[in-house]
Amino acid sequence: MNGSLNLRAGANGARILGFGDYRPRRIVTNEEISRRVDTDDEWIRTRVGISERRFAGADESIVDMSVAAAGKALANSGVLAEDIDTVIVATCTAPAPIPGLAPEVAHRLSIGTPGAYDLNAACAGFCYGLSAAADAIRSGSSRYALVIGAERLTDWTDQDDRGTCIIFGDGAGAAVVAASDTPGIGPVVWGSDGEKSRAISVADRFSYMEMDGRSVYRWATTRLADSARRACELAGVDIGDIDAFVPHQANLRIVDSMVKTLKFKDDIAVARDIVTSGNTSSASIPLALTAMIERGEVKTGDTALLLGFGAGLTYAGQVIICP
């Protein structure tokens, strides 16, 4: 043995062929929340920009929602379930650490025996997953991957804590990623700031989420713009030419602050799905993009800058070409 092993030949790049989403049936308005905790519609809309969010019911588990969102993404992509060889479920609200959810999701979609794993990068999870899928395709480990962001944040939120219960909701979004000679997923710019690991946390399995809202807000509005610019630079796209900006839907004021800082073109399409979905962590970016595509705000071939960020603290951004 000469100390060197064979590698598989990978594809030139990866591309998203279709998106899909699943929104839980139950709509929870600010008015409903204000009947339980001391808050009001005006405060919530002004501070976080949310009018309503969705709460998942007993028959809407993370696996159920993932299967629904991924099934829709598969249908939109034209890719057959049996061709998928990698399934990544990004989530930070799994009900238990064992087993991972991805194998069951794959089984329920009749995908067969793909590589399947869960990934926890909190609200940046979908962008981490997209990068992992694109890299697997480029290195030859995969040809067709499913990347899903799915959350039941309400399981880990104290519905009596007005600092968090107004913000979080449930849902799932998914993308089908395929090998392509013409790359449609740009290089990721990712990172973390573990010094702030307690800024959003769940202490143990008996506890609810705790959040230092102010420090998260400050971090998101001051530290992430350079990474967004760098993601455009690495993809070879002028930030002034980006067609759609789809950041994690944490807070409408964070979205608007980023839009102001980044100086996009005037008619850029901006994701503001938070208004009706709340903050759905790793599901928020694919949920928002699916809706924008369905409404015709984003068209085939448009460039979109994705930017996930959240607990960890973690962040990841990349430019994609929309299916």
CB of 29 to ligand COA, least distance (A): 14
Rounded Cα gap, residues 71 and 65, in angstroms: 10
Q: Which of 213, 227, 233, 297 binds ligand COA (CB under 6 A)?
A: 213
What size, in residues, is the chain?
A: 323
From 92, 123, 127, 232, the catalytic residue:
123
Is residue 322 part of the annotated active site? The answer reads no
Q: Is 163 in the site for ligand COA (CB under 6 A)?
A: yes
What the block records as the tokens of 132 is 């992992």
- Of 20-79, which residues contact ligand COA (CB under 6 A)? 39, 43, 47-48
Residue type, 92: C
**Bridge partner residues of 53 (DSSP):** 28
If residue 108 lies in a helix (H) or strand (E), which one and from where to where? helix 102-108
Query: Which of 200, 201, 191, 250 shows the shortest CA–CA distance to 223?
Result: 191
CB of 10 to ligand COA, least distance (A): 33
What the block records as the tokens of 262 is 């980044």
What the block records as the tokens of 171 is 């849902």
Q: Is 166 in the site for ligand COA (CB under 6 A)?
A: yes
If residue 111 lies in a helix (H) or strand (E), which one and from where to where? none
Q: Which of 216, 225, 320, 322 binds ligand COA (CB under 6 A)?
A: 216
Q: Which of 169, 286, 310, 312 binds ligand COA (CB under 6 A)?
A: 310
Q: Is 250 in the site for ligand COA (CB under 6 A)?
A: yes
Q: Are 148 and 173 in contact (CB under 8 A)?
A: yes
Rounded Cα gap, residues 40 and 27, in angstroms: 17
From 165, 248, 251, 322, the catalytic residue:
248
Q: Is 162 in the site for ligand COA (CB under 6 A)?
A: yes
Q: Is 208 in the site for ligand COA (CB under 6 A)?
A: no
| Site track for ligand COA across 268-297, x = CB under 6 A | -----------x------------------
Candidate segments 22-30, 71-79, 206-214, 287-295, binder of ligand COA by CB under 6 A: 206-214
Helix axis angle for 252-262 and 213-223, nearest 10°, is 20
What's 188's DSSP letter? P
CB nearer ligand COA, residue 35 or residue 214: 214
Q: Are 55 and 169 in contact (CB under 8 A)?
A: yes
**Count of chain residues binding ligand COA (CB under 6 A):** 19
Q: Binding residues for ligand COA, per CB under 6 A?
A: 39, 43, 47-48, 123, 162-163, 166, 200, 211, 213-214, 216-217, 250-251, 254, 279, 310
Which residues are catalytic, by number? 123, 248, 279
